[in-house]
Amino acid sequence: MSSGKPVRLGILLSGRGSNFLAIAGAIREGRLEGVEIAVVIANVAEAPGLAAARDLGLKHEIFVSKGRKRAEHDADVLACLRAHRVDLVCLAGYMRLLSPEFVAAFPNRILNIHPSLLPAFPGLDAQEQAFDYGVKVAGCTVHLVDEHLDHGVIVLQRAIPVLETDDSHSLALRILDEEHVAYADAIARVASGEYEVRGRRFVKRKVSIN
């Protein structure tokens, strides 16, 4: 994806946006280079993440999804992303399934983070699902978004042990810490242009030697 120009991110969120803030922090601190946040979009007017974007001086928009047809709402969001010349879309607690038309508009250029080691425990309350199942290892996954829930090609995963002292809440908090590292690392990989999708794998591009 890298062409010498900064990769422009479009952040979509519905709530507090802790992963958005982690991404913004990584950019500000120089840990995520060659990337800039072009726009932050919320589908909930009261989303705290939107207020955080405003405080950071970032461009931000609201497109309330409640009560609207999916196609109409997605069309508005897509138009906004295009107007801000977004290269890579990052879902940061965006509690809404994207339509096939949305996914097709940004092929292999939409990232999502999920608080489990996919394909285990997709959907809501993944940390609680994992804890209740009794797993010994949990973690998070950054993946490309396709038309199916928590299904796209895996870019990066981070794993942690489940401690005997854990409950579902403490486990969720420790996974969240890993999310904040994983998302920035995954964005760096995608933005570098050094990786490609090969089947179900996200791998380093082969370098041809003439």
pLDDT band at 178 (very low <50, low <70, confident <90, very high): very high
CB 122 within 8 A of CB 150: yes
> What is the spatial distance between Cα 189 and Cα 203, in angstroms, rounded to a whole number?
10
Domain 7-204's class? alpha beta
110 with 89: CB under 8 angstroms?
Answer: yes
Residues forming beta bridges with residue 143, ordered by sequence position = 112, 154
Q: If we measure between CA atoms, which residue out of 123, 126, 65, 74 comes closest to residue 100?
A: 74
Please choose, from the candidates 90, 89, 88, 148, the residue with its C-alpha nearest in 3D space to the C-alpha of residue 118. Answer: 148
pLDDT band at 208 (very low <50, low <70, confident <90, very high): low
46 touches 127 (CB < 8 A): no
Here the tokens at position 31 are: 């840990």
Q: How far apart are CA 84 and CA 79, in angstroms?
A: 9
73 is catalytic: no
State residue 40's pLDDT score. 98
For the chain, domain boundaries? 7-204
Over 70: is that where the pLDDT of 174 sits? yes
Catalytic annotation, pick one of 114, 148, 151, 180 = 114
Phi-psi region of 4 (alpha: psi -120 to 50; beta: other; left: phi over 0): left
In this predicted model, what pLDDT tens digit does every residue of 103-157 receive, in sequence order?
999 999 999 999 999 999 999 999 999 999 999 999 999 999 998 888 899 999 9
Peptide bond into 48 cis (omega under 30): no
Indicate the pTM of the whole model: 0.93
Percentage with pLDDT > 70 across the chain: 97
Task: Grade residue 207 by pLDDT with cuts at 50, 70 and 90.
Answer: confident
Q: Which residue has the higher pLDDT, 65 or 148?
A: 65
Q: Is the peptide bond before 107 cis (omega within 30 degrees of 0)?
A: no
Residue range 37-47, pLDDT digits in tens: 999 999 999 99
Section 26-45 average pLDDT: 96
Task: Write the pLDDT tens digit of every residue in 74-90.
Answer: 999 999 999 999 999 99
Report H helices in the chain. Answer: 18-28, 48-55, 70-83, 100-105, 126-133, 168-192
